[in-house]
Amino acid sequence: PLSKPEMGAVDGASVLAKSLKDQGIEYVYGVVGIPIIETSFALQQAGIKFIGMRNEQAAAYAAQATGFLTRTPGVCLVVSGPGVIHAIGGLANAQSNCWPMVLIGGSCDRPQEELGAFQETKQVESTRLFTKFSARPSNVERIPMYVEKAIRMATYGRPGLIRLQFLQHKNDKLFMRSFPSYFKLLTHKPGASYLDFPGDLLNTSVPEEQVEFLPKLPPPPVSVAPQDEILKAIELLKSAKNPLVIVGKGAAYARAEQNVNELIRRTSLPFLPTAMGKGVIPDDHPNCVSSARSLALQKADVILLLGARLNWMLHFGKPPRFQPDVKIIQVDIEPEEFQQSIPTTVTLLGDVNQVTGQLVEAASQKQLVYPKDTPWWKMITEKMDLNRKTVGAMMADTSVPLNYYAALSTVQKLIPKNSIIVNEGANTMDIGRTVLLNGLPRCRLDAGTYGTMGLGLGFAIAAALNCQKEGKGQRVVCVQGDSAFGFGGMEIETCSRYKLPIISVIINNSGIYGGVDKEIWDQINEGGGSELPYRLPPNTLSPQCRYEKLAEMAGGQGFFCENIEQLQSALEKAIAETEKPTIINCMINTTAQRKQQDFDWLTRAKL
């Protein structure tokens, strides 16, 4: 369907493609259709790899995973109306995680706007809440500028100009009260951008010399914290009885691994990674106190936060999960994150990699070394030993139907240690955090700050493409619950089409949080009757559903496992296969649970 522009002329689609290429974009994920078909061809002609996905949401997940893994935003290209609306789920997830991505949506032809055009939607407005920048290029000539700005906004900070406009309303009290939530959108951290392309804009041709293509944007500038504040932080850590370092995904994104490792090596402080901060320092490091997470959080008196927010994932920093007077030293690129839920004692505003480097230097000058023979280390070590014993017993219990710990620890034992682990599902993810370990940074992708389920295969596809490009033979292992898999399971066909040897392990308990056994299901259904399924608990899914057949359908391999031997053999075959995806459908007990927790999941802090 390519309509060729005249000699010396370029159309909107090819200007868009070239602009993306000029900005270093390598992958565009999407689902084609009117009016972006020509654009997808133009992308290929410009030397960009177009990855055709099966659902826009999965494409948006893939784009942001590329953004997190490479610091160059992944791009997602979708059709008008439903295409953009489906992708908004992905935009919201990217925004919540502070990951860069650019969504590009086709939209209806401008001459038909407001007349009820095909898939006509207010797309710029619809995406605005979930982006730092959302706009429609005014003409073909200016497309390169919009593309550059979209990428700049996704990866750089934001100027304060908009703030001044808001301040003109300062007499309006009501407005002022809603002010902070408006501010949340004006962030310095990475995020999402949206660009809107009406069909007629993509098809308009202009003389090539009228288009001003722009050079590649330099990487975002980095800033350091004031030295006074660094010294305050070191003094506070020196005075701490129960210090703790928390390594967040901001540190992973900022590629701070070298400095963070050096900080822990020099100071010997205990540390705890957040879910996607895992691997910045290897999980098996002797100072990692993940196996006593609740205790470490609850009893720490000074916490150094390296690129992690005190939101729900860290229980807002509040009692009962934290000490009421815990002192927080927070490193963040975003000043609005300080003083958020509890007071921040020392605010270290700057790039977490740079600031950690400053801390390393000051720590060695001021001889900040935390001894191993303290009551704090003793308390933590005892709790870790106890927890390991409890979990060890559950791992060793290989009775059928399997429990989570037995199944997940088998996966942990057999997969290559440098694997990228994508992990989602309720218990599958929570238990996976402690059982599936990371030795390298940015090798963990999960439901994240937004708690999104169903992003697994989208993330896995982006990760696998990145592994392919880096050529280090790293594998992607996607461990999902059966419910999480269902949200985007058809992407297994995408994995197969692009020859991505993703190992998908479905921890299948036949439902959301749990399900009913096949026998009970059959009893309920005995005698037939169409009303019977409505009597099942709403969280149930089909018992023993054969999800692995989806891999076979798409030309990959599928395994159905009910015991450890079958799971081991399936994992070995999956690892041996280097061109096709594998689904391992691992049945577990429909009522399997986490080990007894000291606190409820999402403990209601007193807010």
Positions in the binding site for ligand ADP (CB under 6 A): 97-98, 189, 248-250, 253-254, 274, 276-277, 307-309, 311, 313, 332-334, 337, 351-352, 449
User: Which partner in Mg ion, ligand ADP, none is near 548 (CB below 5 to 8 A by kind)?
Assistant: none
Q: Which does 509 bind (CB under 5 to 8 A by kind): Mg ion, ligand ADP, none?
A: Mg ion
For position 438 contacting Mg ion by CB under 5 A, the verdict is no
Decide: helix, strand or coil at residue 189.
Answer: coil
Nearer to ligand ADP, 97 or 590 (CB): 97
Which whole-number Å values give the CA distances from 158 to 165, 185, 336, in the listed order? 14, 10, 13
* Max CA distance (Å), the chain: 78
Q: How far is the CB of 278 from ligand ADP (least distance, A)?
A: 9
Q: Which two tokens stand for residue 76?
A: 């997602």
Q: Does residue 357 interact with Mg ion by CB under 5 A? A: no
Coil, helix or strand for 175? helix
A 10 A CB-CB count for 463 gives 29
By a kind-dependent CB cut-off of 5 to 8 A, residue 189 interacts, out of ligand ADP, Mg ion, none, with ligand ADP
Q: How far is the CB of 453 from Mg ion (least distance, A)?
A: 10
Alpha carbon separation from 82 to 31, 87, 88, 116, 128 (Å, rounded): 11, 8, 10, 15, 16
Q: Which is nearer to Mg ion, 203 or 593 (CB)?
A: 593
In whole angstroms, the minimum distance from the beta carbon of 250 to ligand ADP comes to 2
Q: Measured from the CB of residue 184, what is the shortest distance to ligand ADP in angstroms? A: 11
500: helix, strand or coil: coil
Segment lying near Mg ion (by CB under 5 A), choices 39-47, 468-476, 507-515, 518-526: 507-515
For Mg ion, which residue of 424, 430, 482, 548 counts as binding (CB under 5 A)?
482
509 binds Mg ion (CB under 5 A): yes
Closer of 112 and 593 to Mg ion (Cβ): 593
Pick the closer one to ligand ADP by CB: 40 or 274.
274
Exposure class string for 125-163: b at 16+ Cβ within 10 A, else e: ebbeebbbbbbbbeebbebbbbbbbbbbbbbbbbeeeee
Length of the chain: 607
Work out what residue 337 binds among ligand ADP, Mg ion, none; the CB cut-off runs from 5 to 8 Å by kind: ligand ADP
CB nearer to Mg ion: pick between 192 and 506: 506
Task: Give whichever of 149 and 278 is closer to ligand ADP, judged by the CB atom.
Answer: 278
What is the smallest separation between the CB atom of 347 and ligand ADP, expressed in angstroms?
A: 12
Residue 242 to residues 235, 330, 385, 521, Cα–Cα distance (Å): 14, 17, 19, 51
Judge whether 303 and 289 are in contact, CB under 8 Å: no
The arrangement of strands across the sheet holding 503-508 comes to 444-446, 420-424, 476-481, 503-508, 582-587, 557-561
Q: Which partner, ligand ADP, Mg ion, none, binds residue 248 by CB below 5 to 8 Å per kind?
A: ligand ADP
Within 57-185, strands assigned E span 74-78, 101-107, 133-135
The yes or no reply on residue 424 touching Mg ion (CB under 5 A) is no
Tell me the residue nearest to ligand ADP as measured from the CB.
250
Among 157, 250, 481, 556, binds Mg ion (CB under 5 A): 481
**Cβ–Cβ contacts within 10 Å for residue 123, how many?**
29
The residue ranges of DSSP E strands in 428-520, in sequence order, are 444-446, 476-481, 503-508
CB 316 to ligand ADP: min, Å? 12
The distance of closest approach from Cβ of residue 354 to ligand ADP in the complex, given in angstroms and rounded to an integer, is: 8
The count of other CB atoms within 10 Å of the CB of residue 262 is 17
Residues that bind Mg ion (CB under 5 A): 481-483, 509
